[in-house]
């Protein structure tokens, strides 16, 4: 089975802290994604990457950055966390010809106080 692992299930941080969310996939997928999920808003794409060291902005990139130094790992970085970044963060991956089928991790619930 494809496994997408997010390093933390729950995370509590203070306003202004630098936050790292880590995601690792074990299926050699080219594409990786970071979404945030908020009640009533569904999933919104923050950033995605289609290759090592490549990144593209999604629909809501402001306040976030990403890093992909290795194919299996995709990190989401909150440079200075704010309370409006309290959310569920979902990582996903897909093969290069995945036609939109994504494999998701279990999510990280981030609370910024």
Partner 1 sequence: AQSVTQLGSHVSVSEGALVLLRCNYSSSVPPYLFWYVQYPNQGLQLLLKYTSAATLVKGINGFEAEFKKSETSFHLTKPSAHMSDAAEYFCAVSDPGGSYIPTFGRGTSLIVHP
Q: Interface with partner 1 by CB under 8 A: which residues?
A: 4, 33, 35, 40-43, 45, 48, 90, 92, 94, 98-102, 104-107
Q: Smallest gap, in angstroms, from Cβ of residue 77 to partner 1?
A: 21
d(C-alpha 33, C-alpha 65), whole Å: 12
Residue closer to partner 1 (CB basis): 15 or 27: 27
Residue closer to partner 1 (CB basis): 14 or 42: 42
Residue closer to partner 1 (CB basis): 37 or 67: 37
Q: Which two tokens stand for residue 80?
A: 């200075």
Q: Smallest gap, in angstroms, from Cβ of residue 102 to partner 1?
A: 7
C-alpha torsion sign, points 113, 106, 35, 21: positive
Alpha carbon of residue 24 to chain centroid: 10
Q: Which two tokens stand for residue 33?
A: 């994604």
DSSP-assigned letter for residue 113? -
Q: Smallest gap, in angstroms, from Cβ of residue 7 to partner 1?
A: 14
Q: Smallest gap, in angstroms, from Cβ of residue 9 to partner 1?
A: 8
Going from the C-alpha of 1 to that of each of 4, 51, 79, the distances in angstroms are 10, 22, 33
């Amino acid at each position: 089975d494809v496994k997408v692992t997010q390093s933390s299930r729950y995370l509590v941080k203070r306003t202004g802290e630098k936050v790292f969310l880590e995601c690792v996939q074990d299926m050699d997928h080219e594409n990786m994604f970071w979404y945030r999920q908020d009640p009533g808003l569904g999933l919104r794409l923050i950033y995605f990457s289609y290759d090592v060291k490549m990144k593209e902005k999604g629909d809501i990139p402001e306040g976030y950055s990403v890093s992909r130094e290795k194919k299996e790992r995709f990190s989401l970085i909150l440079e200075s966390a704010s309370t409006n970044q309290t959310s569920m963060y979902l990582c996903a991956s897909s093969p290069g010809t995945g036609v939109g089928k994504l494999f998701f991790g279990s999510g990280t619930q981030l609370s910024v106080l």
